[in-house]
């Protein structure tokens, strides 16, 4: 059920520029963005009409609880998402030599490891070579010596990889800090960047398809600034855009956009995901929502779930949620931005006939259909009231 069908009245604590889906201001015409030519932007996702479904990557994170436990009281500042901002950049307090040494360490430990790396492949090739060389060698020791070296190297890589997986979070807390200067900011409704701050509603969201060198296809979620003449990078033809990485189907990308909009919309509570649960009481709208009992969950629901569930149980929950996201009816919703940008519908009004099947293999593109036309909130409310008066 859409949370937007039951809007919440936010209280004090937000700037006048804070984003609300029911109060998007009128904007100028959307210009032709020449920087998008040549890119395969298969569909533009709609504004508003929330379904309240989060992507599986965020709903059941595989790393969240480990980070939360280790970082402890500092979690608010060291996490990517809190009640103030959804950061898009990491500031690292390290020098270039440290970066290079870390890069070499990760490459060595992950590439040559017996644990998910290429260690077994290298060992297998060397084992075959040893069998072939054993008859030509002067001694058995001489024949197996190269194989022994490979075993030592790959075992060392495996050991280092285990150390990395166990203690890398210490590096995360000691040397990484999610930036407040490159982020989606809920309290202000602005998107902060190196070249200025821009209103959230000035970004359009696309599903972009890229083709790999061997013909494989990749889909990603792109937020691209609608007015490039206001946000062009100095000495560059690059557009101002953000890339959200979400694993899974096209439906998961729709869910990610639904989640980000609800995060920025101060008439809505924060998305109910583990990463922001510790901060729900710090956000005015969310605090009022939870205080009214509308969340329907304990304040520490996610923390307790992760603490008391086995990996097998969490894996089953992830799979069930993935099925839920993929079966949600994402298509056929109007786009509220049509009411604010005069030529918005003309620039791109279609969507796949079957959103849930779009992009899957074997490829099933189907037809593109026009979205339903958006109706102003007042008319929409009157229409719903009229429908409610019809006897059922």
Tens of pLDDT, residue by residue over 268-326, are 999 999 999 999 999 999 999 999 999 999 999 999 999 999 999 999 999 999 999 99
Q: Indicate the pLDDT class of residue 15, thresholds 50, 70 and 90.
A: very high
| % of the chain at pLDDT higher than 90 | 40
- Bridge partners of 198? 191
Residue 365 has pLDDT above 70, yes or no: no
Report the pLDDT averaged over residues 98-104.
Answer: 81
DSSP letters for 176-203 = EEE-SSSEEETTTTEEEETTEEEEGGGE
User: What is residue 45's predicted lDDT score, i.e. its pLDDT?
Assistant: 93
User: What is residue 235's predicted lDDT score, i.e. its pLDDT?
Assistant: 62
Q: 25-36 pLDDT, tens per residue?
A: 999 998 887 777
Report the pLDDT averaged over residues 339-349.
Answer: 86
Report the pLDDT averaged over residues 196-223.
Answer: 84
Q: Indicate the pLDDT class of residue 8, thresholds 50, 70 and 90.
A: very low
Q: Indicate the pLDDT class of residue 391, thresholds 50, 70 and 90.
A: very low
Report the pLDDT averaged over residues 52-77.
Answer: 88
User: What is residue 392's predicted lDDT score, i.e. its pLDDT?
Assistant: 34
* Cα–Cα distance measured from residue 65 to residue 80, given in angstroms and rounded to the nearest whole number: 14
SS3 245: coil
User: What is residue 316's predicted lDDT score, i.e. its pLDDT?
Assistant: 96
Q: Write the CA distances from 381 to 7, 9, 391, integer angstroms.
A: 12, 16, 18
Strands 90-92 and 203-211, bridge-based pairing: unpaired
* Cα–Cα distance measured from residue 180 to residue 90, given in angstroms and rounded to the nearest whole number: 9
SS3 31: coil
SS3 206: strand
User: What is residue 381's predicted lDDT score, i.e. its pLDDT?
Assistant: 47
Cα Rg of the chain, angstroms: 25
Residues 336, 339, 343: CA angle, nearest 5 degrees:
110
Helix residue ranges, H only, 183-269: 250-264
* Cα–Cα distance measured from residue 279 to residue 80, given in angstroms and rounded to the nearest whole number: 13
Tokens of residue 246, six digits: 């979400």
Cβ contact 287:84 at 8 Å: no
Strands 85-87 and 90-92, bridge-based pairing: unpaired
Cβ contact 10:267 at 8 Å: yes
Between residues 70 and 155, the one the model is more confident about: 155
Q: Write the CA distances from 300 to 24, 64, 251, 358, integer angstroms.
A: 34, 14, 28, 37
Q: Domain residues of the chain, as ranges?
A: 34-92+177-347, 96-169
SS3 155: helix
Composition of the chain by helix, strand, coil, percent to 5? 45, 15, 40
Q: 232-266 pLDDT, tens per residue?
A: 766 666 778 898 888 878 899 999 999 999 999 99
Which of 139-143, 201-205, 343-347 shows the lowest per-residue confidence on average (mean pLDDT)? 139-143
């Amino acid at each position: 059920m859409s949370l937007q069908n039951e809007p919440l009245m936010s209280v004090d604590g937000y700037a006048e520029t804070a984003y609300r889906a029911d109060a998007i201001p009128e904007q100028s015409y959307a210009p032709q963005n020449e920087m998008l030519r040549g890119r395969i932007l298969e569909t533009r996702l709609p504004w508003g009409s929330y379904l309240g479904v989060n992507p599986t990557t965020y709903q059941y994170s595989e790393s969240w609880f480990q980070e939360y436990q280790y970082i402890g009281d500092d979690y608010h500042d060291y996490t990517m998402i809190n009640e103030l901002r959804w950061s898009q950049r990491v500031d690292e307090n390290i020098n270039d030599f440290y970066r290079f040494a870390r890069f070499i360490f990760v490459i060595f430990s992950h590439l040559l490891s017996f644990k998910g790396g290429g260690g077994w492949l290298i060992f297998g090739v060397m084992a075959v070579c040893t069998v072939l060389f054993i008859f030509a060698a002067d001694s058995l020791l001489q024949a197996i010596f190269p194989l022994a070296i490979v075993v030592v190297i790959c075992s060392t890589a495996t050991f280092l990889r285990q150390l990395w997986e166990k203690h890398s979070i210490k590096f995360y807390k000691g040397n990484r800090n999610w930036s407040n200067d490159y982020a989606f900011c809920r309290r202000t409704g602005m998107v902060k960047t190196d070249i200025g701050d821009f209103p959230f509603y000035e970004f359009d969201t696309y599903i972009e398809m890229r083709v790999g060198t061997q013909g494989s296809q990749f889909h990603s979620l792109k937020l691209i600034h609608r007015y490039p003449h206001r946000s062009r990078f100095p000495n560059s033809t690059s557009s101002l855009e953000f890339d959200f990485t979400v694993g899974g189907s096209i439906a998961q990308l729709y869910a990610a956009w639904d989640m980000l909009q609800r995060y920025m919309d101060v008439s809505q509570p924060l998305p109910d995901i583990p990463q922001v649960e510790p901060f729900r009481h710090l956000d005015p709208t969310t605090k009022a929502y939870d205080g009214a009992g509308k969340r329907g969950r304990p304040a520490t629901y996610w923390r307790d779930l992760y603490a008391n569930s086995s990996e097998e149980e969490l894996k089953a929950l992830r799979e069930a949620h993935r099925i839920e996201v993929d079966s949600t009816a994402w298509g056929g919703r109007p786009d509220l931005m049509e009411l604010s940008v005069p030529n918005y519908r003309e620039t791109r009004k279609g969507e796949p006939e079957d959103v849930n099947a779009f992009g899957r293999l074997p490829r099933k593109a189907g037809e593109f259909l026009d979205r339903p036309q958006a109706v102003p909130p007042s008319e929409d409310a009157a229409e719903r009231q009229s429908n409610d008066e019809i006897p059922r």
